[in-house]
Amino acid sequence: MQSRHYSRRTEKSYCHWIKRYVIFNHMRHPKEMGETEINTFLSHLALKRKVSASTQNQALSAILFLYRHVLKRDVGDLGDVIRARKAKHLPVVMTREEVRSVLDRMKGETRLIACLMYGAGLRISECLRLRVHDIDFKTNQIVVRNGKGSKDRLTMLPGRAREPLQDHLEDVKRLHDCDLADGYGQVQMPYALARKYPNAGRFWGWQFVFPQKNRWVNSETGEQGRHHLHESVIQKAMRVAVQKAGILKHATCHSLRHSFATHVLEAGYDIRTVRPQWCTRMCSIAGGRGCKAPWILCDSVTAAVYRENSLCVHTAHEKIDNCFRV
């Protein structure tokens, strides 16, 4: 899987399902099993375990990878395997007032991360993996590298998050300087860049924007550095803020991303303009400059224009363009 550049999460998930497949069949070697055992296992997941369609498909993909690429054996017809019914779920979208209420109940670093996820439409993994050189304050842009599907894209930097983010980076810079003075400060580099540029891991631009409080130890080299925050830290803070705000919706960190897209569309922007900020396709056309962040996180001028013209979003759209036309 590593030779095929599968992500670590995919590698972990595939190993998990292959292990469960072997245990379900009483520890028999996969070479001794075939279509019948695969069909029985997948039917068990759907009927007994009540898993979702995406979970069952993930288990099937893991087993097929085992037989096709590891055991070099083609799997025949699986027959009438019982598949979980694929349901269509509507995304959870919070109103602007609900987003504001949630953000007001978050503090410090977690609030800043939530602001970026909402104001830039970032996934939680994309936000936590940001490095210092991915943020361009001159053009108010954020470069999302190696996102979903191993693709890069550009998105906007929310105006309200600009100054807090600069103050946060100053604190991170002082922490990094202290680590360098103590003989540490090495950050994990992507792919083989650590061998190509041995000292690049100590440079300021490669450091994570949201580092952990404690240093991690590289088991291979013994070097110590700071990895980015774990997703559970932000997820817990988001869950507590939603509860304190009295919101009954099942709002998660990903709901901020859906809310971002919805609120920008409600402001009068075309879907072809919003899509490059939200995903990768058409990114080269808009270049990440197609629209501004939602008004809750925009500059005060943008927010005033939007509130003044809340009954006529198209007029507000034109005024915003005039204020920020470059």
The arithmetic mean of pLDDT across residues 17-35, rounded, is 92
63/38 Cα distance (integer angstroms): 8
Lowest mean pLDDT among 54-58, 142-146, 155-159, 188-192: 188-192
pLDDT value, residue 149: 76
Asked if the model's pLDDT at residue 284 lies above 80, the reply is no
Burial of 117 (0-12, 13-18, 19+ CB in 10 A): buried
**What global pTM score does this model have?**
0.71
Asked if the model's pLDDT at residue 299 lies above 70, the reply is no
The CATH architecture that domain 8-70 belongs to is Orthogonal Bundle (1.10)
The model's confidence at residue 185, banded by pLDDT at 50, 70 and 90, is confident
pLDDT value, residue 271: 65
pLDDT value, residue 35: 85
Q: CATH assignment of 96-324?
A: 1.10.443.10
pLDDT digits (tens, 9 = 90+) for 307-321: 433 333 333 334 333
pLDDT digits (tens, 9 = 90+) for 46-103: 888 888 888 988 998 899 899 888 988 887 766 555 566 667 778 899 999 999 999 9
Give the bridge partners for 141, in sequence order. 136, 156
The arithmetic mean of pLDDT across residues 223-233, rounded, is 90
pLDDT value, residue 125: 92
pLDDT value, residue 312: 35
Residue corresponding to tokens 């899987």:
1
The angle subtended at Cα 31 by Cα 27 and Cα 36, nearest 5°, is 80
Domain residue limits, the chain: 8-70, 96-324
Question: CA dihedral in degrees (164, 185, 8, 151; nearest 10)?
Answer: 50
Mean pLDDT of the chain: 81
